[in-house]
Amino acid sequence: MSDMLASAPEAPSLMTVRDLAVHIPTDAGVARILDGVSFTLPPGGSLGIVGESGCGKSTLLRAILGILPKGARVPQGQVLFQGQDILKTPVRGRIGFIPQDPYLSLNPVFRAGDQLLEGMRNHAPGTRDDHRKKLINLFHAVQLPEPQNALDKYPHQFSGGQRQRLLIAAALACDPDLVVADEPTTALDVTTQREILALLRSLISERNMGLLFVTHDFGVLSSVCEDVAVLYAGRVAEYGPTGNVLADPRHPYTRMLLACHPDRATDLIGIPGTVPAATAQPPGCRFHPRCPISRPNCAVAVPEAVRIFDGSRVACPYHADPLPEVALG
Amino acid sequence: MAEMIGARDLVVELGAERGLFRRRAGVRAVDGVSLSVTAGETFGVVGESGCGKTTLARTLLGLQRESGGEIRLENAVVSGVAPSLARRQRAAVQYVHQDPGAALDPWWRVGATLAEGLRIQGLTNRTEAADRIAETLRAVGLDPAFGERYPHELSGGQQRRIGLARILLLRPKLVILDEPTAGLDLSVQAAVLRLLRDLRDRFGLTYLFISHDLSVVRRVCDQVAVMYLGRIVEQAPAAELFAQPRHPYTRALLGAAPRLDGKAVAPTLRGDPPSLRAIPSGCRFHPRCLHADMSCLEREPVMQPVAAGHSVCCHHWREAA
């Protein structure tokens, strides 16, 4: 895991996002969806991106995958993948994607094999027969039942967990160096979820791939990711090793969010207010209107990332201050 | 304490055809469920998808006709009647849809949706209806002006609140909550759970709480029933169930829930639940059970008491403990 600060020497990185901003013009004004997001993913590393709806998780994924919506502008920042800025020159076939909903992500009228082979035709070397062989091997690896016949089945012939295995195989089909997963287990039962997460972990580490994992479930996060970036309103509020952030959160937002977890909270209170609209971001620290320890300065100055220890930072100058007990339930 | 709703040996068969020329056995989505929900408590039902949670809810609600067994509502038998009558008899039972956004008509202002329920229940006086709607919106923590909004103008948490307001208007006694926190952010989830608790206390409601989020169930439920393939396999007070689960399935389910410390606590449960069309012999959990032996293949276990209010449906719960 490498440090974010610009002064630190460059560690080898699989992906470096540097000061990324994404703006989307809308009827209600410019939506500043991401604003100065930075992180580094070392080869073989795993980073979780957590945050509530509307904090920019999906836009960050789209920027990384090169599928930003039409009209989106990137006024600043870089997304370096193996040293290459993919905002300028898109990479093909080297980033695998596992979507959120296994039920919506396969076309019901085509055979599973045809849908998976379509992607490989453009992005993987070899003939169609090579591709079929490769997929069948992958089906073994993801423990799909009857891997020999799976190519010829239709999506409805698989259960939800099996479809997610199929989609993991699809994501790995072109031997990517990075796998990006968007809440891949939210549609699944806990028992299936656990199997899928264990499978994902072992496949990624066997192949030494990097993993970017978007989730809003802290339990899932802690079982999959080494590091975590907590996003709030388009900025990284806190970044660090998952165990540290969960055990000792520093940013008021992270502290209050974790206090909402049913396993943690002594009383259920939530966080007052809502995530601001991307077209009406408050000045200064974007969390200040909801923060119980905000000071006048918070409404003016954008907080700098404060380094807590190597590989861990928090975007709040008052991170050492105690929160009032009522805010933590 | 008084019973709000109860069921004895409830069986629900889905998809059966009993025509003159075609006969086809259906699947038993609910297969011999007995339960008793005390007034004022929150009764949780947990289990994997396809275990019959939602079918059980629909049957208690009167939307799905039972094939056998008995349903009691406030100590009166309400089963064995035609669906149209069943629903009218059970007006005290209301249901909050799993996806409140999908349950709202996108072309209707939410106020109109709320008024429709009152109209169906026979309240035609417009001012009285408007007053009750405003009062109920305030009760769920929304400004009465929200009645003028369209569903797409609401956030997920606000849609849940409207979903709750919609049934609170009808003055229910028992509210069936189907996955009330699915898809909500943590901070919103906490606020919704708190609201549910406040409303229960304020209006004297009883909840049947269907969920697969075990952290939430542990937090809000008084009693919990664990369902597997149409049967209740274990039932206990929530604190006891989470502290001392007895059924191997309950253990696996609790162990599979992701924990904040990232540690795994129980061996994983392998495979998917079998299809309802091919229910295994004997104990229906035996193909996935670590403790199964020949007796589990041959004999179907019955509910056995473990402690006060705690019962389990397993031959080997003593050894497995």
Q: Which domain holds residue B275?
A: 3-92+172-320
Which of residues B312 and B184 earns the better pLDDT score? Answer: B312
Which ranges of chain A have pLDDT less than 70?
1-11, 265-266, 326-329
Contacts of A52 in chain B (CB under 8 A): 185-188
pLDDT digits (tens, 9 = 90+) for B259-274: 888 776 667 777 777 7
Residue percentage of chain B with pLDDT more than 90:
56
Q: Is residue B163 part of a domain?
A: no
Q: Is residue B16 part of a domain?
A: yes
Residue B5 pLDDT: 95
The average pLDDT across B179-196 equals: 87
CA separation for the pair A20, A74 (Å, rounded): 7
CATH number for the domain including B298?
A: 3.40.50.300
pLDDT digits (tens, 9 = 90+) for B99-154: 877 888 999 999 999 999 899 888 888 899 999 999 999 999 899 999 999 998 88
Interface pTM (ipTM) of the complex? 0.81
Q: Which residues pair with B43 in a beta bridge?
A: B208, B223
Residue A11 pLDDT: 61
Cβ atoms of B61 and B87 within 8 Å: the answer is yes
Q: What's the full length of chain B, in residues?
A: 321
Q: Is residue B180 part of a domain?
A: yes
What's the per-residue H, E or C state across A229-246? EEEECCEEEEEEEHHHHH
Q: Cβ contact (<8 Å) for B186 and A159?
A: no
Residue A4 pLDDT: 47
Structure letter (DSSP) for residue A327: G
Residue A7 pLDDT: 43
Contacts of A218 in chain B (CB under 8 A): 186, 260
Residue A6 pLDDT: 45
Token pair 């304490």: residue: B1
Contacts of B193 in chain A (CB under 8 A): 262, 268
With an 8 Å Cβ cutoff, is A145 touching chain B? no
Q: Is residue B119 part of a domain?
A: no
Residue B257 pLDDT: 85
Q: Cβ contact (<8 Å) for A218 and B272?
A: no
Q: Is residue B164 part of a domain?
A: no
At B93, is the pLDDT very low, low, confident or very high (cuts 50, 70, 90)?
A: very high
Using alpha carbons, list the distances in angstroms from residue A8 to A3, A236, A237, A307. 7, 18, 20, 12
**H or E element at residue A161:** helix A160-172
Q: Is residue B124 part of a domain?
A: no
pTM comes to 0.86
**Does residue B236 surpass a pLDDT of 70?**
yes
Residue B320 pLDDT: 66
CA separation for the pair A115, A41 (Å, rounded): 30
pLDDT digits (tens, 9 = 90+) for A167-182: 999 999 999 999 999 9
Cβ atoms of B91 and B170 within 8 Å: the answer is yes
Q: Cβ contact (<8 Å) for A223 and B218?
A: no
Q: Is residue B105 part of a domain?
A: no
pLDDT digits (tens, 9 = 90+) for B196-214: 999 999 999 999 999 988 8
Using alpha carbons, list the distances in angstroms from residue B96 to B208, B234, B247. 10, 25, 30
Task: List, as ranges, residues 186-225 from A with C-beta within 8 Å of B.
Answer: 186, 189-195, 197-198, 216-220, 222-223
A317 CB-near residues (< 8 Å, 6+ apart) = A303, A304, A306
Q: What is the count of structural domains for chain B?
A: 1
State the sign of the Cα–Cα–Cα–Cα dihedral B212, B215, B216, B218: positive
What 3-state DSSP class applies to B160?
A: helix
Residue B205 pLDDT: 95
Q: Is residue B97 part of a domain?
A: no
Q: Which residue of A has its CA nearest to B252?
A: A191
At B315, is the pLDDT very low, low, confident or very high (cuts 50, 70, 90)?
A: very high
Cβ atoms of A293 and A40 within 8 Å: the answer is no
